[in-house]
Amino acid sequence: MTDLAVTLPGLALKNPIMPASGCFGFGQEYGRYYDLNELGAIIIKAATKEPRLGNATPRVAETPSGMLNAIGLQNPGIEVIMQEKLPWLAEHYPELPIISNVAGNTEADYVAVCEQISQAPNVHAIELNISCPNVAHGGLEFGTSPEAAATLTKACVAVSQVPVYVKLSPNVTDIRPIAQAVEAAGAAGFSLINTLVGMRIDPKTRQPILANQTGGLSGPAIKPVAIRLIHQVRSISKLPIIGMGGVSTAADALELIAAGANAIAVGTANFSDPFACPKLIAALPDELAKYQLTDLKSFSLSQEVTHD
């Protein structure tokens, strides 16, 4: 029997696979079709202090081997998430670790949500979203400056009852100083990567397809970008990395792990195949067996970690 267990700050995972934030709601929809206990964890949809309606439609557009989305962090707000969404998950999947994605307009918003949501018994970690490309405030403005990212991280770590993983943006010239600043500010780990900003135009109207004009590119198209950025952050930090970006198969997952990731989030693949996560988990032992391995730790340990 292959051992897929992974232990990270706050997270004792029976396997390293978890749905990525924004691609799995709060679990209720996919929970109709398979047992969510098969998952290592779930990163739930971003929580903000106030309920948010998100952007106008159309919110999605397909691209070659990818898609653009500009949902705009639609969510029912921290109160409903604390009173309805998290208790539903706790009731139906009491053993399943939840990672809560947190977003906001201002530092005070982020701090308030981190403080409150980290007290939920089934929230084992926070994914600090400083990289959403689809909102006017918050999001990227904290994620593109090392100083702003560090200040926000420090404030959130100070109030959070659980480890804080910071979700970094690929939309920067150099991710390393941001990762270093966030690490110095007390982050427990990184979540890499958020989507890349893109656009599509409808030739009939000569206007952008998305109502928000731009959207975040995800899917297999961005996998090489994710691998490079994970590799780059791994070269300057020993902190755990939840890797994501275009993963749809066990081979993809191992490629990101080889680049330096310790666990893997699966996003857009859930839309192509609602059973993408359980299929990937089931396929991991055979994929590891190709390298004569019966546990994931050995695959991870074989990584050459270089420090410069």
Partner 1 sequence: MLPLEYQLTLTKQTEIAPSIYELCLTGDLAQQPIAPGQFVDIKIPSDALLLRRPFGIANVDRQTNTITLLYRVVGEGTTILSESPVGTSLSVLGPLGNGYPIDQLVAGQNALIIGGGTGIPPLHELSRQLNAKGVHVQHVFGFATKAAIFYEDHFRKLGPVAYATNDGSYGYQGHVGLLLDAQFADATTRYDAIYACGPKGLLMAVDNRFSEHPNAYISLEERMACGIGACYACVTKLKRDPSIQLKICDDGPVFKTNEVLI
DSSP 56: P
* Closer CB to partner 1, 106 or 272, in the complex: 272
Contacts of 59 (CB under 8 A, 6+ apart): 69, 70, 71, 72, 210, 211, 212, 215
CB 276, min distance to partner 1, A: 11
CB 111, min distance to partner 1, A: 25
* Closer CB to partner 1, 1 or 53, in the complex: 53
CB 73, min distance to partner 1, A: 9
CB 24, min distance to partner 1, A: 6
**Alpha-carbon distances of 93 from 40, 217, 258, 276, rounded to whole Å:** 12, 31, 30, 19
The pair of structure tokens assigned to 142 is: 């904290």
* Cα–chain center distance at 150: 19
Query: What is the rounded CA–CA span in Å between residue 239 and residue 157?
Result: 15
Query: What is the rounded CA–CA span in Å between residue 40 and residue 20?
Result: 12
Query: What is the rounded CA–CA span in Å between residue 2 and residue 202?
Result: 48
* Closer CB to partner 1, 10 or 19, in the complex: 19
Beta bridge partners of 19: 266
* Closer CB to partner 1, 28 or 144, in the complex: 28
Q: Tokens 């191992």, residue? A: 254
* 67 neighbors 218 (Cβ within 8 angstroms): yes
**Pairing verdict, β 66-69 and 60-63:** antiparallel
The pair of structure tokens assigned to 42 is: 């779930």
CB 78, min distance to partner 1, A: 16
* Residues designated catalytic: 132
Measure the CA dihedral 119/86/275/294, to 10°: 30
* Closer CB to partner 1, 74 or 180, in the complex: 74
CB 193, min distance to partner 1, A: 18
What 71-76 contacts at long range (C-beta under 8 Å, 24+ apart), as own/partner pairs, is: 71/22, 71/134, 72/134, 72/135, 72/212, 73/46, 73/48, 73/103, 73/132, 73/134, 73/135, 73/139, 75/45, 75/46, 75/47, 75/48, 75/51, 76/51
CB 59, min distance to partner 1, A: 5
Residues making contact with partner 1 (CB under 8 A): 22-25, 29-30, 32-35, 45, 51, 53-54, 57-62, 64-67, 69, 71, 74, 219-220, 268, 270-275
* Closer CB to partner 1, 136 or 289, in the complex: 136
* Closer CB to partner 1, 34 or 88, in the complex: 34
Q: How would you class 72 by CB atoms within 10 Å of its CB: exposed for 0-12, middle for 13-18, buried for 19 or more?
A: buried
